[in-house]
Amino acid sequence: MTPGRPTPIDEEIMLDNTKYIESETDTHGTIVDCNDYFAEISGYTKDELIGAPHNIVRHPDMPKIVFKLLWDRIQSGHNITAVIKNMAKDGRYYWVFTHFEIIRDINTKEIKGYRAYRKMVSPHIKKVLDPLYKRLTEIEKEGGMEASEKALNEFLREGGDHITLDNLMEEIHRFY
């Protein structure tokens, strides 16, 4: 009974820079817990969020390759930071600088879920990433994720050797 996706509208929701949007998922990305601020910003109630797949706030401007890199990292047990454009229930968007962490079983040490903390993104980061993400999404429509991964790597190479998407995110965040 997934309701239809909202229609995106070109209006930004500004975040409070003293607050974090927090959520926790199982290993499949189903939301198992979240804070009140997540509900407030996304426009969904906590009841709607808990039990839903995390792509409930996915924005169509986000390229698949970013989520692929994200999942590759966390499934291999590494934390990652990523800047994501999300969509609220009413179709407005909000940008978040997100830190992902692994939750492990205390005894077996196996990954039992993931946690994400999100805060406001500077206007500079949005200015760099908005056109990049839109371009990658367009490239994906034509040539799939292989093509967008290649384009992303080309973009990253312009920033210097061995730059990965998550250290690019860290760098631009530290810089601005």
Ligand X SMILES: Cc1cc2nc3c(=O)[nH]c(=O)nc-3n(C[C@H](O)[C@H](O)[C@H](O)COP(=O)(O)O)c2cc1C
Contacts with ligand X by CB under 6 A lie at: 23, 25, 29, 54-55, 57-58, 62, 64, 67, 84, 86, 100, 114-116
Q: Which three-class secondary structure state does DSSP give residue 66?
A: helix
Identity of the residue, 129 or 161, whose beta carbon is nearer to ligand X in the bound complex = 129
Helix (H, G, I), strand (E, B) or coil at 83: strand
Q: What angle do CA 142, 143, 144 make, to 5 degrees?
A: 105
Q: Which is nearer to ligand X, 52 or 163 (CB)?
A: 52
Task: Quote the least distance from Cβ 98 to ligand X, whole Å.
Answer: 6
Of 175, 176, 154, 93, the residue nearest 165 (C-alpha): 154
Q: Whole-number minimum distance, CB 43 to ligand X, in Å?
A: 14
141 CB-contact burial (10 Å; exposed 0-12 / middle 13-18 / buried 19+): exposed
Output 7 or 161, the one with its CB closest to ligand X. Answer: 7
> Where is 167: in which H helix or E strand?
helix 165-175
Shortest gap between Cβ of 27 and ligand X (angstroms)? 8
Q: Between 26 and 159, whose beta carbon lies closer to ligand X?
A: 26
CB nearer to ligand X: give 87 or 172: 87
Q: Report in angstroms how near the CB of residue 174 gets to ligand X at its nearest.
A: 21
Residue 124, amino acid: H
Least distance between ligand X and beta carbon 151 (Å): 18
For residue 97, the tally of other CB atoms under 10 A from its CB is 20
Axis crossing angle, helix 165-175 with helix 123-158, rounded to the nearest 10:
140
